[in-house]
Structure 1
Amino acid sequence: MSTLDRAGEAGPTTALPPGGPEPAATGRPAPTGQRTTPRVLAARVGVGAGLVLMTVAFVYPFVWLVSASLKPRSDVFDNRLIPETLTFENYVEVWNAAPMAAWLLNTAFVTVMATLTVTVSSALVAWGFARYRFRGRHVLFGLVLASMMVPGAATMIPTYLIWDSLGMVGTLTPLWAGNLFGTAFYIFLLRQFFLGLPPELFDAAEIDGAGHWGVFWHVALPLTRPALVVVALFEFQAAWTDLMRGLIYLRDREDFTVPRGLKSMLDQFGFGGEWHWELVVTASVITTVPMIVVFFLGQRQIIQGVATTGSKG
């Protein structure tokens, strides 16, 4: 018997754990997670405090607006966020003082039509620039981008003369029909998204017998849903808050949109000597709430669409 065998027989026997032999001790404690240093903690606290301050700065005006709408006329500007005298009569009076229902319906119609037309038309133009190769494609796309540099005031009078010659002044049509031709920014946004999609998908669809419209409608559009939602939400907000075109084209009070109606209420109750500011702020709350709801429902799509569009092309 060798010396090693005799040592093994003489030495004490130790039972091994069920999971196998334990690792040798190294003298260092087992890691329990990344240790937070004071500098990292201070940075986190600073970022959190900054975010809280920015949130308060953005939310405070709307909270003040809601609070002012629940106060009587004498307390509107007392700067108390919690009204001393709480009243809901302003929301009843504003419906009697102005045709709010008609204004909301007009605004909803204009907003929906503007959103649908600009989304579809911009997607069609962007698909043409992204998918097809033709002579002068880059020049035409450059002209589309150059149109963003033209200020709206430069085209305001010619556009008005066109609608006036068509007999559309005084109607809601000029407020949305211009979107039938797309918008340069949305065309650029969607084109960049289309360029980031694998072209093999469209080639395979064409090999399977899909036509140009089928490839666009059944393959390209479903893949670009985040970008389409971003375009739709941006245009929804722009059309819902558009005051300039309402001032230019609308004449009758019953045909006003909400921004145009708020301007008329401001002229009547704000600068006309009556000073019914409680009605003005109440109408502003009624106008703002739908936009908050829409953006709350679509915030995930906005983040996804902007992030994915920025990483493509």
Structure 2
Amino acid sequence: MTSYAMGKKQRRIARTAMLYVLLGLFSLSTLFPLLWMISTSLKSGDLIFEIPPRFWPDGFHWENYSRAVTEINFFVLFKNTAVITFFHLLSDVFVSAFVAYGFARFHFPGKNIWFLLVLSTIMLPGEVTMIPVFIGFSEIGWVNSILPLVVPGFFGGAPVFIFLLRQFFLSIPKELEESATIDGANSFTIFWRIFLPLSVPALITIAIFSFQGSWNDLLGPLIYLNDEDKFTLTLGLSMFKGIMKVEWGPLMAGSILALLPVLIVFFLAQRHFVEGVKLSGIKG
């Protein structure tokens, strides 16, 4: 090997090493708030606001976690959040897929106009419809129940998810659909037996987005839920914020516990998530 080739190889190795170092630093900067939250959840109250700040706690104060579980009835709030998230996830995935299938494969008058109208609702701020929607749910007696948080999703799905799934459905070869039609399959059978199994990466992608959005939602439960036994985790954690003082240790501990399901779901479905974003965002 010539000296020129050896020098070129060394420069390539140096560039690769520098790239990994930069990526590591960026990753650390992204993870630092999470690491600081974990550190705060294990600190005593006096150490949290110490100047200069100390990252490593003086001792592992696990009582913050026991207080987070007992003082806000954590498991009841966890169950309420899980129920709302389950129905929200169900509507976002299957209803959005059903609507997207219609826009991708059916031909009807004004299809493109209707699709543009659906997409235009993305630009409509939620604050614009918040008051009239609340008045409507109040008139039918749904306030202080989970119905306003789960039922609307079953009547149309989410526009962003409809768009992503439509892009994915357009990439599926029409020959599969034609072959199934020749074999006697109707439109719903084609959707259920062909399109959904082939769309698992895209479905997992929107399921992760839906799960994260519903699990971390604060505004919806804050508007519609009044009784503490119906609160979600995001509302329950706000109980640590008093008028004069905030219990930062238990608050951070409860936030860590509430964050764990989101992290677990994401890491378990990470491979499908990346693939789904790639396919639904490029093809079509």
TM-score normalized by the length of structure 1: 0.85
> Which residue does 2:23 correspond to in 1?
51
> Which residue does 1:64 correspond to in 2?
36
Q: Secondary structure at the match of 1:182?
A: coil
Deviation (angstroms), 1:42: 4.0
Aligned length: 279
- Equivalent residue in structure 2 for 1:228, among 192, 203, 208: 203
Distance 2:8 2:191 in 1: 52
Distance 2:129 2:85 in 1: 22
> Which residue does 1:215 correspond to in 2?
190
Report matched runs for 1:1-313 at 5 Å.
35-38=8-11, 40-78=12-50, 79-180=53-154, 181-266=156-241, 268=242, 272-313=243-284
**Conserved? CA contact 2:240–2:246, under 8 Å:** no
Deviation (angstroms), 1:35: 4.9
How big is the alpha-carbon RMSD for the aligned residues of Structure 1 and Structure 2? 1.8
Letter in 1 for 2:176: L
Distance 1:205 1:153 in 2: 45
Normalized per residue, which structure has more helix?
2
> What residue ranges of structure 1 are gaps of 5+ in the alignment?
1-27
Deviation (angstroms), 1:46: 3.0
Aligned residues with identical type, % of pairs: 36
**Higher normalized contact order (CA 8 Å, seq sep 6+, divided by chain length):** 2
The CA deviation string for residues 126-176 of structure 1, in whole angstroms up to 9 with x for no partner, is 000000111110110010111111111111111111211221100112122
> What residue ranges of structure 2 are gaps of 5+ in the alignment?
none
> Which residue does 1:5 correspond to in 2?
none
Letter in 2 for 1:164: S
Letter in 1 for 2:112: H
Distance 1:127 1:53 in 2: 43
Call closer, same or farther: CA 1:34–1:293 in 2, change over 3 Å. farther
Distance 1:309 1:94 in 2: 40
Distance 2:192 2:7 in 1: 50
**Conserved? CA contact 1:94–1:100, under 8 Å:** yes
- Select the structure of larger CA radius of gyration: 1
**Conserved? CA contact 1:246–1:256, under 8 Å:** yes
